[in-house]
Each structure stands twice: as C-alpha cells, then as structure tokens.
Structure 1
Amino acid sequence: MTVTTGISFILASISSVLIFSGMQMYRPWLSSSQLHTLLGGYLGSIFFVLSLTAVGNLENVVFGKSFQVKVFPEVLFCLLLALFTSATVHRVCATSCLLISLCALFYMNKYSQKVHTIPVPSVPVQTGKKKKNVS
C-alpha cells in the first residue's frame, strides 16, 4: 500500500520523534551494557533514515516532485542530527550509529538508483573502418 508524499512526511516525522523520545526515556538502559549501546546506535540509524525520509518528503511537497535530496545539506544535516541524538545516550552509540547509518545510506542510494533511473537505450557505435569489398 502506498501513501502520498504528505502522509509519508507525517508518518516519518512522528516515527522519528517516537524513536528520539524512546532513546531519551531508556537512556540508562541503553548505556547499561555493550549490546545495549549497539542497539542504541541501531536506533540512531533508524532515526537517521526516518528523518532523512521526512526531510526529503517535505522538500518534495514544497519544491515539487522533481526535487532530489542532496548530500549537502540534507543528508549531512540528518546524519549530524542522528549522531547528536545517539551521543546523548552514549559515545559508542554515536560511533555505531555512524557506521550503520553510512551502510543504510549506501543501500538506500543503491535501491533508489535501481528503482528510479530511466533505462537509456543503447545505440550501436560504428568504428571508423569500413569493410573492403573484395571482388
């Protein structure tokens, strides 16, 4: 089931606020053990993906469907926001958030290129040499 860009913006915004508030509410638990700090970094990367989705959808609503999210400033802003959010929980959460977010960004870009690119028909290229007609 697909939703419109405006509804997707609202859903991504609400979900990112819920992830942020959950990370702040469970800050002592997320910093209590090594595995929990890695979980905090994973939650931070989910926050990154959701905030990037919200920013991209907001720009599509405001600037039109042809607008694309660029590395600077949108992706960098959302990444720094996610790192700051994770760093308020634990320093290791910020490090694991950075690594997982970069992996998520790579796969989001790869999937986006696969789905949204228009295939270009290949044109046969002729070389400069002509076939000699031997009689």
Structure 2
Amino acid sequence: MATSSGTSFVLSLISSILILSGMQMYKPWLNSSQLHTIFGGYLGSLFFMFLITACGNLESMTFGKSMQVKLFPEIGFCLTFSVICAGTVHRVSATTCLIFSIIALYYINKHSQKVYAAPPQVASVQSSKKRK
C-alpha cells in the first residue's frame, strides 16, 4: 500500500526514533552476548533504512517529486549517524551496522532501479535496400 510522502515521512521518522530509543533502553541486553551484539548492529541498519526513507521523503516534500537521495550528503550523513548510534551500544554493533546497512542499501537501490527506472528505448533499424 503506497502512502504519500508526508505520511511516509512521519511513519519512518517515528519508526527510526523508536528503534534508536529501544537500542538505548536495551543496551545492557544487547551487550550481554555476541549474538545480541550482532542483533544490535542489525537494529542499527534498520535505523539507517528508516532514517534514509525519512530524509528522502522530506526532500521530496520540500523540493518536489524529482528530487532523489544522493550518495553525498544524504546517504553519507544517515550512514554515519546510524553507525555512531550503533556504536553507543557496542563497537561490534557499529561494525555490523555498517555491513548490514551497505547490504540493505544495495538491495534498496536494486529495487528502486526496477520500480522507478525508465524503460529502455528500443532502437528500430531499417535496412535501405534498393530494388532493381
């Protein structure tokens, strides 16, 4: 179900705030074992995905529908911020957050290219044979 940019902005911003506050509230549990620490990195990558969605929707509302999220500054800022937030939980969470976020960014880009890319133009070739 598609929503407008404004609704999507609000939902993704609320989701990112909830994930960030949950990571901070459950910091002792996320530090308790190796698997929980890796899960903290995964939560950090979810925070990144919601943050980049909120950033893209805010730009879309402000500058128009033709605005796209670029590698610099939007993705770089959101990735840096999510890695720092995951780093407040544990250093290994920051590393796994970076890895999971890059993988998620690859799949987001792949899906975006499939959905929003212009269809390829087919060039027609005409042969110019002379009749005798």
TM range (shorter): over 0.9
Aligned partner of residue 67 in structure 1, secondary structure = coil
In the alignment, the residues of structure 2 paired with residue 14 and residue 58 of structure 1 have an alpha-carbon distance, to the nearest angstrom, of: 13
Moved over 2 A (4+): 124-127, 130-133
Deviation at 1:132, TM superposition (A): 9.0
Corresponding residue number in structure 2 for 1:23: 23
Deviation at 1:122, TM superposition (A): 1.1
| TM-score normalized with structure 1 length | 0.92
Aligned partner of residue 112 in structure 1, secondary structure = helix
Corresponding residue number in structure 2 for 1:39: 39
In the alignment, the residues of structure 2 paired with residue 92 and residue 10 of structure 1 have an alpha-carbon distance, to the nearest angstrom, of: 30
Aligned partner of residue 69 in structure 1, secondary structure = coil
Aligned alpha-carbon RMSD (Å): 1.6
Gaps of 5+ in 2: none
In the alignment, the residues of structure 2 paired with residue 36 and residue 126 of structure 1 have an alpha-carbon distance, to the nearest angstrom, of: 63
Aligned pairs for 1:46-61 within 5 A: 46-61=46-61
Aligned pairs for 1:40-119 within 5 A: 40-119=40-119
Aligned partner of residue 67 in structure 2, secondary structure = coil
Letter of the structure 1 residue corresponding to residue 66 of structure 2: S
Deviation at 1:118, TM superposition (A): 1.3
Cα deviation code 1:47-101 (max 9, x no counterpart)? 0000000000000000000000000000000000100000000000000000000
In the alignment, the residues of structure 2 paired with residue 125 and residue 92 of structure 1 have an alpha-carbon distance, to the nearest angstrom, of: 57
> Which one has the largest radius of gyration?
1
Identical residues among aligned pairs (%): 58
Aligned partner of residue 118 in structure 2, secondary structure = coil
Deviation at 1:124, TM superposition (A): 3.4
Deviation at 1:131, TM superposition (A): 6.6
Cα deviation code 1:21-52 (max 9, x no counterpart)? 00000001101100000000000000000000
When the two structures are aligned, how many residues end up with a matched partner?
132
Letter of the structure 1 residue corresponding to residue 121 of structure 2: P
Aligned partner of residue 32 in structure 1, secondary structure = coil
